[in-house]
């Protein structure tokens, strides 16, 4: 039955969302995670309702209960089964990661998966029509459960996908088999290889759902499906062609090429495992089910998946820090519309906040407004949504937004006197309870706060460039910051969909303190005659998104020089000397990507590199990497950051440190603290005091 037929059905009221028609007496049934009722047409409605949770996550207990429920349902032989969620936020967000994180025995994982597969296969083989009704998010194992049903309907606003690849895995509950058999196999593989989610319209277009139905029309659509008015899912021409191994082999070659560009197989084995599964067994469902289980078990017990899952869980913990009882600031005022201030204002407006943006130069504000339009285009917002974003971003040439803002963010150049003068000018104009924040990347807040009458309402909010991509915000506390101010800052960071890490005020805070020795050592290597491409290749091969020479050009050599000078004033013996040529390049205006020339020449936003540069040796990598790790340990020793997990989260979400390695401290743990300490000592003997190991390595060894 087509979507047009569904839309012409006589409406029947369904005003109460997912639980409409649910007999509340079922609460007395012995199921912890499910609710069940039967309507007047002998159709069973089964609602997933994870106990003591706000969202549905598939767990072992819920699956075992489902198995028992199916026993009872089959015994009664209803006309059909409808699978729904009782949670307002969505169908199911996937498997409960906590249940399998930390499993290291492949045989144990396989046993668990085989039991889960048996239940999913049983749902798929029921002798009457089955239908999944999807609202909100339907991800991972939740979508795999929906794929076991004969039909799927989406409520407007639903989103669905199989994002396991982002955790170093592929689907493990039959999704690798069922999705390519339901929709275009190449599209199915692309969805699994990218982890991309589809909205309801895209899902219908590709055949993942049969139709989109408003909640109020749902009961009529269910009746029509149970009456046999919707056809099956005939296999397309492409699916029939790709049922042969030679055809799959050709497609697999293209898939490998594309996935390797974004996820090198030596670091991220899951894409290759998924492609190999489909290439080898895509024509035989039974063999592929078994191969999926074995492959998933291998991946789950591999270090890549363990590290990526750990980072995912750490990300969730960082997000929890933003869940305070305080409301997020409604009105934000940004002082300074340059590269950082303008982009902070644009992002806040994009995320729904009303933002005034002050700068003395109208053209700088105009540039920020243009960047706002560009972000909306990149995010594919409609014309109306774009207009709403731009309406929320208010140009302010007279700094009037100070008096009405709940949060004021200063983002002017890194000059102590300039920032302090701004604070003296605006503090008398701020309304009661407003918070003043600085986006300084390196100046200690104890110095900045000296001119303030109310330093307890002053905090650091250090964003990273580019603001629209980098998820981390360092929330910087100083010796007078009060708890209310910190809580408001945390709430704000969550409101704009960013991840906070709380750090104590100190030169460079955490991320810049750790990143600067890495960049400076690259400068010293360049000074010694090592090719920039060789240096960058060492870092990229290790797993960094870009090498330090290219990163310095992207950040701007003027900014690198400024931060390096400031931090060397405080940590002279812990950092490499600044080569004279860096100051010469900055003086000549050769600043990197933004000027078109720096360490590299830049064309169309890309560094022009010599592809024939020689490879680096292991010592080169250690010279780059170990100063960064040493600075991370120093931040822990000095109490700048609370624990090693937060260091890892900050460095991954703030710098892109190789996620599959789990962060710098996780890498140090896997390599061995003693090895890090001894390697630093050897480098110190050869290259100088800057490599002297922090005492924390010996204390933790």
Considering the chain, what is the average pLDDT of its residues? 92
Q: What confidence category does residue 11 fall into, taking pLDDT thresholds of 50, 70 and 90?
A: very low
Rank 234-238, 247-251, 428-432 by mean pLDDT and report only the highest: 428-432
Q: What percent of the chain has pLDDT over 70?
A: 95
Using the structure block, give the residue that is written with the tokens 């940590």.
Answer: 571
At residue 64 the predicted structure's pLDDT band, cuts being 50, 70 and 90, is: very high
Which pair of structure tokens corresponds to residue 548?
Answer: 């330090």
pLDDT bin (cut points 50, 70, 90) of residue 1 is very low
For residue 29, pLDDT beyond 60: no
Supply the pLDDT for residue 245.
Answer: 81
Q: How many other CB atoms are found less than 10 A from the CB of residue 476?
A: 28
Whole-angstrom Cα distance, residue 666 to residue 644? 8
Share of the chain above pLDDT 90, in %: 84
Backbone φ and ψ for 105, nearest 5 degrees, come out as -105, 115
Residue 234 has pLDDT above 70, yes or no: no
Tell whether 518 and 493 lie within a shared domain: no
What is the residue-wise DSSP string for 21-84?
Answer: T--GGGGGSS-SSEEEEE-TTSEEEEEE--TT-SS--B-HHHHHHHHHHHHHHHHH--SEEEEE
The residue among 148, 46, 33, 49 whose CA lies nearest residue 90 is 49
φ/ψ of residue 159, rounded to 5: -135, 140
User: Is residue 230 domain-resident?
Assistant: yes
Give, as one character, the DSSP assignment of residue 101.
T
Residue 347 in this model has a pLDDT that exceeds 90: yes
Contact 600, 608 (CB under 8 A): yes
Q: Quick check: is 624 in a domain? A: yes
Assigned domain for 316 exists? no
Please write the tens of the pLDDT for every residue from 615-633: 999 999 999 999 999 999 9
List pLDDT tens digits, range 386-395.
999 999 999 9
Q: Are 459 and 419 contained in the same domain?
A: yes
Contact (CB, 8 A) for 430 and 399: no
Which string of b and e fits 406-432 if b means at least 16 CB within 10 Å? bbbbbbbeeeeeebbebbeebbeebee
Pairing state of beta strands 435-438 and 458-462?
parallel
Q: What is the mean pLDDT of residues 420-437?
A: 96
The alpha carbon of 513 is separated from its chain's Cα centroid by a whole number of angstroms, namely 24
The Cβ of residue 580 has, within 10 Å, a number of other Cβ atoms equal to 9
Residue 16 maps to which CATH number?
Answer: 3.90.226.10
Q: Determine the average pLDDT of the residues in 156-169.
A: 97
- The pLDDT value recorded for residue 17 is 55
pLDDT at 308: 96
Lowest mean pLDDT among 226-235, 343-352, 615-624, 657-666: 226-235
**Catalytic residue annotation:** 462
- Is pLDDT of 9 > 50? no
Residues 133, 231, single domain; the answer is: yes
Do residues 555 and 461 share a domain?
no
Does 229 score more than 90 pLDDT? no
Query: How many structural domains comprise the chain?
Result: 3
| Single residue among 485, 505, 525 that ends a domain in this structure | 505
Radius of gyration of the chain (CA): 28
In a domain, 314, yes or no: no
Q: Which domain holds residue 463?
A: 331-505
| 298 and 239 in a common domain | yes
pLDDT value at 5 more than 60: no
Does residue 311 lie in a domain region?
A: no
Same domain? For 101 and 221 the reply is yes
Indicate if 28 and 49 belong to the same structural domain: yes
CA–CA dist 555, 549 (Å, integer): 10
For the chain, what's the residue count? 701
The predicted structure's pLDDT at residue 20: 53
Helix axes 383-392, 339-350, angle to 10 degrees: 120
Choose one of 476, 505, 534: the last residue of a domain: 505
28 pLDDT band, cuts 50/70/90, is: very low
Six token digits for residue 301? 């017990």
Strand ranges inside 227-385, DSSP E: 331-335, 354-358
Determine how many CB atoms are found less than 10 A away from the CB of residue 570. Answer: 14
- CATH number reported for the structural domain that contains residue 531 in this entry: 1.10.1040.50
User: Binning pLDDT at 50, 70 and 90, where does residue 26 land?
Assistant: very low
Same domain? 355 vs 397: yes
Q: Could you tell me if 137 and 169 lie in one domain?
A: yes
Are residues 532 and 484 part of one domain? no
Give the residue ranges of DSSP H helices in 441-596.
Answer: 445-448, 483-495, 511-527, 532-542, 548-555, 557-570, 580-587
Identify the H or E element spanning 375.
helix 362-378
Tokens 């489909």 found at: 278
CA–CA separation, 607 vs 593, rounded Å?
8
Instruction: Return the structure tokens found at 538.
Output: 């060492």
Question: What's the pLDDT at 116?
Answer: 97
Q: Are 335 and 409 in contact (CB under 8 A)?
A: yes
Residue 23 in this model has a pLDDT that exceeds 80 = no
pLDDT at 230: 79
Please check whether residue 173 lies inside any domain of the structure. yes
- The DSSP bridge pattern shows strands 393-396 and 137-139 to be unpaired
Q: So what's the pLDDT on residue 2?
A: 38
Category of 311 on φ-ψ map: left (φ > 0), alpha (ψ -120 to 50) or beta = alpha
List pLDDT tens digits, range 354-388. Answer: 999 999 999 999 999 999 999 999 999 999 999 99
* Residue 342 host element (H or E): helix 339-350
Structure tokens at 76: 């009664």
**CATH, residue 415:** 3.40.50.720
CA gap 137, 477 in Å, rounded: 36
**Is there a single domain that holds both residue 521 and residue 475?**
no
Q: Are residues 170 and 211 in the same domain?
A: yes
In terms of C-beta density within 10 A (0-12 exposed, 13-18 middle, 19 or more buried), how is residue 700 classed? middle
Q: Given this model, what pLDDT does residue 18 score? A: 59
- Does residue 318 lie within any of the structural domains? no
Task: Let me know if residue 607 belongs to a domain.
Answer: yes
Q: What is the pLDDT of residues 274-320, one digit of tens each?
A: 999 999 999 899 999 999 999 999 999 999 999 999 999 999 999 99
Of 453, 485, 505, the position where a domain reaches its end is 505
> Range with the lowest mean pLDDT among 124-138, 235-249, 466-480?
235-249
């Amino acid at each position: 039955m087509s979507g047009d037929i569904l839309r012409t059905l006589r409406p029947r009221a369904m005003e109460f969302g997912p639980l409409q028609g649910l007999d509340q007496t079922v609460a007395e049934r012995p199921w912890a995670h499910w609710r069940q009722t039967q309507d007047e047409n002998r159709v069973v409605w089964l609602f997933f309702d994870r106990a003591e949770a706000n969202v549905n996550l598939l767990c072992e207990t819920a699956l075992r209960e489902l198995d028992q429920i199916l026993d009872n349902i089959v015994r009664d032989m209803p006309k059909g089964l409808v699978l729904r969620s009782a949670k307002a936020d969505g169908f199911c967000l996937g498997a409960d990661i906590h249940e399998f994180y930390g499993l290291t025995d492949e045989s144990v994982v396989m046993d668990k998966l085989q039991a889960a597969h048996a239940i999913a296969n049983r749902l798929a083989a029921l002798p009457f029509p089955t239908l999944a009704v999807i609202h909100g998010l339907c991800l991972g194992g939740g979508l795999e459960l929906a794929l076991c049903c004969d039909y799927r309907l989406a409520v407007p606003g639903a989103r669905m996908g199989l994002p396991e690849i982002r955790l170093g895995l592929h689907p493990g509950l039959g999704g690798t088999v069922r999705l390519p058999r339901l929709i275009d196999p190449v599209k199915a593989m692309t969805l699994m290889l990218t982890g991309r989610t589809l909205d309801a319209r895209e899902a219908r277009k590709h055949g993942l759902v049969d139709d989109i139905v408003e909640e109020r029309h749902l009961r009529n659509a269910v009746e029509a499906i149970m009456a046999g008015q919707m056809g099956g899912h005939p296999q397309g021409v492409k699916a029939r062609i790709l049922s042969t191994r030679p055809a799959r082999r050709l497609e697999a070659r293209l898939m490998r090429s594309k996935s390797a560009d974004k996820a090198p197989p030596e670091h991220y084995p899951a894409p290759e495992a998924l492609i190999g599964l489909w290439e080898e067994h895509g024509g035989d469902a039974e063999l592929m089910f078994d191969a999926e289980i074995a492959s998933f078990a291998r991946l789950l017990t591999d270090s890549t998946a363990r590290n990526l899952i750990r980072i995912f869980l750490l990300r969730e913990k960082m997000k929890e820090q933003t869940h305070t009882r305080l409301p997020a600031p409604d009105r934000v005022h940004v002082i300074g519309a340059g590269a950082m201030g303008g982009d902070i204002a644009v992002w806040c407006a994009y995320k729904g906040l009303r933002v005034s943006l002050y700068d003395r130069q109208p053209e700088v504000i105009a540039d920020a407004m243009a960047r706002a339009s560009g972000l909306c285009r990149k995010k594919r917002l409609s014309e109306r949504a774009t207009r709403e974003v731009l309406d929320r971003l208010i140009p302010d040439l007279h700094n009037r937004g100070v008096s009405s803002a709940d949060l004021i963010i200063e983002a002017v150049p890194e000059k102590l006197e300039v920032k302090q003068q701004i604070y003296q000018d605006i503090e008398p104009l701020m309304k009661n309870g407003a918070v003043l924040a600085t986006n300084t990347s390196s100046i200690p807040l104890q110095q900045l706060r000296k001119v303030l009458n109310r330093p307890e309402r002053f905090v650091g909010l250090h964003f990273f460039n580019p603001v629209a991509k980098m998820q981390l915000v360092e929330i910087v506390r100083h010796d007078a910051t009060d708890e209310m101010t910190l809580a408001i800052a945390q709430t704000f960071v969550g409101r704009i969909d960013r991840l906070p890490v709380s750090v104590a005020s100190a030169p460079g805070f955490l991320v810049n303190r750790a990143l600067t020795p890495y960049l400076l050592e690259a400068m010293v290597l360049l000074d010694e005659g090592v090719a920039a491409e060789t240096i960058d290749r060492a870092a990229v091969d290790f797993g960094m998104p870009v090498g330090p020479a290219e990163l310095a050009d992207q950040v701007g050599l003027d900014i690198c020089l400024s931060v390096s000078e400031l931090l060397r004033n405080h940590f002279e013996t812990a950092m490499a000397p600044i080569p004279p040529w860096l100051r010469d390049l900055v003086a000549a205006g050769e600043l990197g990507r933004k000027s078109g020339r720096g360490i590299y020449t830049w064309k169309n936003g890309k560094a022009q590199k010599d592809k024939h540069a020689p490879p680096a040796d292991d010592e080169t990598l250690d010279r780059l990497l170990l100063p960064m790790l040493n600075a991370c340990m120093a931040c822990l020793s000095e109490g700048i950051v609370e624990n090693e997990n937060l260091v890892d989260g900050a460095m991954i979400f703030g710098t892109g440190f190789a996620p599959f390695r789990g962060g710098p401290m996780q890498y140090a743990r896997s390599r061995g603290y003693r090895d890090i300490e001894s390697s630093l000592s050897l480098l110190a003997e050869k290259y100088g005091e800057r490599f002297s190991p922090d005492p924390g390595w010996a204390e933790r060894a």
